[in-house]
Amino acid sequence: MENAVLITIGDEILSGNTVDTNSNFIATELKNIGIKVSQIFTISDEIETIKNTIKSAFEIGNLIITTGGLGPTRDDKTKKAIAEFFNDEIALDEVTFNHLKNYMEKRGRLEILERNREQAFVPTKSKVFQNHFGTAPCMMMEEDGKLLFSLPGVPYEVKPLIKDQIVPYLHEKFSLNYISTRIVSVVGIPESILADTIENWELALPQNLALSYLPVGTRVKLRLTATGENESFLQEQLEEEIQKLLPLIKDNVIATSEDKIEKILAEILTERKLTISTAESCTGGELAKMITSVSGSSKYFLGGIIPYAAEKKIEILKVKKETIEEFSVVSEQVAAEMAEGCQKLFNTDISLSTTGVAGPGKGEDGKEVGTIFYTIRIDDQEVTSKLYMPHLERLDFMNFVSQKIIQDLVGILINN
């Protein structure tokens, strides 16, 4: 069991109306048990298309996972296509029907049970994995040692089916190796120089360890992956190699475990008992969103505001009107006054502020799209920086800037 193929079924994906997040999630979960995704297909909900794609997929890999295309009506094309492909027929499965009935009872929806009864009809050769978060079950077909799993398309149904049922099933059935990963986050050193600096360490890594360079903004994540039969041994092995690495780049390392920069920040703020607040204009709340995406962030994040209009910067954050008139609203002076006002407003140890032009049009003061000033204020010390990224679209701009600001803050905190 080495190669997998994912098939996403649905016109809503092809039209661009819905983003396929399932494939990314499934590929990541499979990778963690040593199964590589060789190809991903996105296809329409048509019987012949589904059957032809399954045939092509089995020529590539020995595991297929489909998402989407399962509905509560008898003309469910995905289910019919799978039954036809495996020369099977569809019949009522009593276990699945009872599960569906219990699911409806718990939600007070028995009146629509008959309408959803069709979802208890499955191919007779299938092994059913019950869906605890929806009405469409997962069906597995097996032939000549090859497996096909058919899942619903709703992400909050897909995730528990994959994580809690399918991955454990595959791991046990095929006695797959464990895969353990650690991330070392590095800043302040170009990737090429970083590679030269750690070359000898990398060449000396044990054969079951692999290193990947993953640039994220101005940060480089070194992903160290270990494969083997004993999970505890792999974790010890990773820690041992990281301890060998640290002396080579100790001044540039900001974390050796957490992956996301907001989680790295969370660890530092929690450990040092520091509080933080945000005043965002051009990032539109993205900074606050990132910070509060971490569980337990209420311990250190006291609040944030989005004073988009200049008069609100003056009214709420006490930015001087004269400062805006002299330097314009998109300026280092305004960013600094926003941070100071925010710190006083929320009474925090740290405050972050942003003012800029996310686009697509120029700012009211004529500043070019992609211009931003941001201030990091810690106690009574502040650092204001400027970025210019006209090539980024609006949402990408907001995300990149927010990542960069938190990364800068982490760097300052670690070095002080």
Please give the share of the chain, as a percent, with pLDDT higher than 70.
95
| Dist CA 170 CA 1 (whole Å) | 9
pLDDT tens digits, 88-147: 999 999 999 999 888 888 877 766 667 678 889 999 999 999 999 998 999 999 999 899
Which residue range is the domain that position 287 belongs to?
261-414
Q: Examine the domain organization and report whether 306 and 402 are in the same domain.
A: yes
Is residue 21 classed as helix, strand or coil in its secondary structure? coil
Distances, alpha carbon 79 to alpha carbons 52, 67, 142, 212, 351, in Å: 14, 11, 15, 40, 54
| Dist CA 106 CA 296 (whole Å) | 31
Q: Examine the domain organization and report whether 158 and 204 are in the same domain.
A: no
The 8-class DSSP code of residue 93 comes to -
Is residue 282 classed as helix, strand or coil in its secondary structure? coil
The dihedral built from the CA positions of residue 53, 55, 56 and 59, taken in this order, carries a sign that is positive
The 8-class DSSP code of residue 161 comes to I
Which stretches of 107-166 are DSSP H helices?
113-116, 155-160
Evaluate whether 62 touches 2 at the Cβ level (below 8 Å).
Answer: yes
Provide CB contacts within 8 A for 181, sequence distance 6+: 32, 223, 224, 225, 226, 238
Q: Examine the domain organization and report whether 410 and 378 are in the same domain.
A: yes
User: For residue 235, what is the domain's CATH number?
Assistant: 3.30.70.2860
Q: Among the three residues 123, 148, 173, which one is the final residue of a domain in this structure?
A: 173
Per-residue tokens: 140: 């597995």
The CA radius of gyration of the chain, in Å to the nearest whole number, is: 26
User: For residue 14, what is the domain's CATH number?
Assistant: 3.40.980.10
Q: How confident is the model at residue 363 (pLDDT cuts 50, 70, 90)?
A: low
Q: Examine the domain organization and report whether 16 and 129 are in the same domain.
A: yes
Q: Examine the domain organization and report whether 250 and 266 are in the same domain.
A: no
Distances, alpha carbon 416 to alpha carbons 9, 243, 251, in Å: 52, 22, 12
* Unique residue bearing structure tokens 């799993």: 149
Q: Examine the domain organization and report whether 336 and 389 are in the same domain.
A: yes
| Dist CA 35 CA 355 (whole Å) | 45
User: For residue 329, what is the domain's CATH number?
Assistant: 3.90.950.20
- What are the two backbone dihedrals, phi and then psi, of residue 35, each rounded to the nearest 5 degrees? -105, 125
Looking at residue 367, its pLDDT comes to: 73
Q: How confident is the model at residue 415 (pLDDT cuts 50, 70, 90)?
A: confident
Per-residue tokens: 31: 């990778």
Q: Examine the domain organization and report whether 237 and 278 are in the same domain.
A: no
Q: Among the three residues 113, 141, 173, which one is the final residue of a domain in this structure?
A: 173
Lowest mean pLDDT among 69-83, 238-252, 319-333: 69-83
Q: Among the three residues 195, 227, 255, which one is the final residue of a domain in this structure?
A: 255
Q: Examine the domain organization and report whether 182 and 156 are in the same domain.
A: no
The total domain count for the chain is: 3
pLDDT tens digits, 13-70: 988 888 899 999 999 999 888 898 999 999 998 999 999 999 999 999 999 999 998 8
Q: What is the mean pLDDT of residues 337-366?
A: 87
Q: Examine the domain organization and report whether 265 and 377 are in the same domain.
A: yes
| Dist CA 132 CA 301 (whole Å) | 34
Q: Examine the domain organization and report whether 299 and 392 are in the same domain.
A: yes
Strand (E) positions, 126-256? Answer: 127-129, 138-143, 146-151, 178-187, 209-216, 219-228, 253-255
Per-residue tokens: 173: 């059935």
Task: Provide the b/e sequence for 100-135 (b: ≥16 CB within 10 Å).
Answer: beebbeeeeeeeebeebbbbbbbbebbebbebeebb
Is residue 197 classed as helix, strand or coil in its secondary structure? helix
Please give the share of the chain, as a percent, with pLDDT higher than 90.
71
Q: Write down the mean pLDDT value for the chain.
A: 91
Distances, alpha carbon 414 to alpha carbons 188, 265, 269, 400, in Å: 13, 10, 11, 21
Looking at residue 345, its pLDDT comes to: 97
Within 10 Å of residue 228's Cβ, how many Cβ atoms? 15
**What is the reported pTM?**
0.69
* Unique residue bearing structure tokens 């006291």: 302
Q: Diameter of the chain by CA atoms? A: 78
Report the helix count and the strand count for the chain, using DSSP H and E. Answer: 17, 17
Q: Examine the domain organization and report whether 162 and 278 are in the same domain.
A: no
Q: Examine the domain organization and report whether 86 and 167 are in the same domain.
A: yes
